């Protein structure tokens, strides 16, 4: 049985990938996902930014990141942005047809 935490982690990873499909620079999440600002305050900052802008996918990802401890946050970001052999972000539409 999958834990509630693991389900939240997987939803967060999927939401991060969705943001990167829509906006290659990471949109509201950029300060945390790309710049390495993984402190709690940074996660809360990007959540506020996503709420202000009304970006649903950013809000979902940012809420999940804010709910994680810093170590888990770093791991989730790394997994979400991992590249496949073609150089595309794994698990996104751009990598789905790659072999």
What is the distance between the alpha carbons of residues 52 and 82, in angstroms, rounded to a whole number? 28
Residue 83 phi, psi dihedral angles, 5° rounding: -100, 145
pLDDT tens for residues 19-75?
Answer: 999 988 999 999 999 999 999 999 999 999 999 999 999 999 999 999 999 999 999
pLDDT tens for residues 51-64?
Answer: 999 999 999 999 99
Nearest to 90 by CA among 11, 7, 14: 14
> What pTM, to 2 d.p., does this model score?
0.83
Q: How far is CA 44 from CA 49, 63, 92, in A?
A: 9, 8, 25
Q: Where are the domains of the chain?
A: 4-80
Residue 80 phi, psi dihedral angles, 5° rounding: -65, -35
pLDDT of residue 84: 63
What is the distance between the alpha carbons of residues 92 and 47, in angstroms, rounded to a whole number? 22
For range 76-95, the mean pLDDT: 72
């Amino acid at each position: 049985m999958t834990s509630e935490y693991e389900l939240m982690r997987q939803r967060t990873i999927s939401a991060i990938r969705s943001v990167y499909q829509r906006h290659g620079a990471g949109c509201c999440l950029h300060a945390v996902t790309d710049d390495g600002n993984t402190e709690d305050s940074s996660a809360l900052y990007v959540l506020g930014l996503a709420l202000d802008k009304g970006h649903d996918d950013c809000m979902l990802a940012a809420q999940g990141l804010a709910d994680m401890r810093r170590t888990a946050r770093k791991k989730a970001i790394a997994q979400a942005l991992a590249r496949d052999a073609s150089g595309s972000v794994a698990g996104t539409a751009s990598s789905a047809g790659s072999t």
